[in-house]
Amino acid sequence: MALLKEIGNYFHEIYDGVASLVRGMKVTGKYFVKSSEIVTQQYPENRATLKMFDAFKGELILKHTEDNEHFCDACNSCARACPNGSIEIISKREVGEDGKAKRTLDKYIYHLDTCTFCGLCVPACDQNAIAFSQEFEHAVFDRTKLVKQLNQPGSKVVIKDKHETK
C-alpha cells in the first residue's frame, strides 16, 4: 500500500506542477493579448497630460501666498537639516514696527546641483514654509542656473497674529 501511495504522490506532484505552471502562463498570456494592461507611459509625448503623484519630490520651493508673502522666519533649521549643505539662508536684521530688531529672510538660496531630494528639510521646518514641487525637468546647459533664489523678489514674511499660535 505504501508503494501505491508513493506512486500516487508522484503523479499528483506532476499534476500539481503542471497545473500551477499553466495558471502562470494564463496570466502572462492574458497580458500579452490585452494591450489595455500596458502601464508604460510614453514621456515626451504625454508631457501635456503627465501628472506626478503627490509624494513626488521634484524640487524645493518656498511657499508664497497670493500677497507675495512667505512663511520663512530664517531660523536656519532646513539648512542645518540638509546633509549636503544645499540650502543657504541669508538673513538680515530689520527693525519692526514695535521698534525691536528682528531677523528676517533676505535670500533663500537653494543649490539644486547638490540636492539629493532626500526631503529632510521639509519636516525640519517649524513654519511649514517649504515644500517639494512636482517639477522634474531640471536639465539646463549652464550649471549656475541650478543655484536658485527661492524667495520671490519683493516678498515679505507673513505677519502672524501673536495671540493666534499654531
Partner 1 sequence: MYDFTSLIDSITSYFNSNFSPFVAGLLLMLLLGVAILAFYAVLGLYLVYAERKICARMQNRIGPNRVGPMGIFQTIADLIKLLLKELIYIRNADGFLFNIAPFIVIVASIMAIGSIPFAKGLQAIDLNIGVLYILAISSMGVIGVLIAGWASNSKYSVIGAMRSGAQVISYELSVGLALLCMVTFAGSMQFSDIISSQQDGWWIFKGHIPAAIAFVIYLIAGTAETNRGPFDLAEAESELTAGFHTEYSGIKFAFFFLAEYMNMFIIAAIATTVFLGGWLPFHLYNVTFFNNIMDYIPPVFWFFGKTAFVIYVMMWFKWTFPRLRIDQLLALEWKYLLPINLMNLILISFLTLMQWHF
The site for partner 1 (CB under 8 A) is made up of 14, 21, 24-25, 27-29, 31-32, 35, 37-40, 42
Bridge partners of 92? 104
Question: Where would I find the beta strands (DSSP E) of 7-73?
Answer: 60-62, 69-70
Minimum CB distance to partner 1, residue 43 (Å): 11
Minimum CB distance to partner 1, residue 30 (Å): 9
Nearer to partner 1, 2 or 38 (CB): 38
SS3 content of the chain, % helix, strand, coil (to 5): 30, 20, 50
Q: Give the length of the chain.
A: 166
Q: What is the largest CA-CA distance in the chain?
A: 101
Minimum CB distance to partner 1, residue 22 (Å): 10
Nearer to partner 1, 28 or 165 (CB): 28
Nearer to partner 1, 35 or 165 (CB): 35
Determine whether 149 is exposed, middle or buried from the number of CB atoms within 10 Å of its CB (0-12, 13-18, 19+): middle
Nearer to partner 1, 42 or 144 (CB): 42
Minimum CB distance to partner 1, residue 25 (Å): 5
Residue 118: phi, psi to the nearest 5? Answer: -75, -25
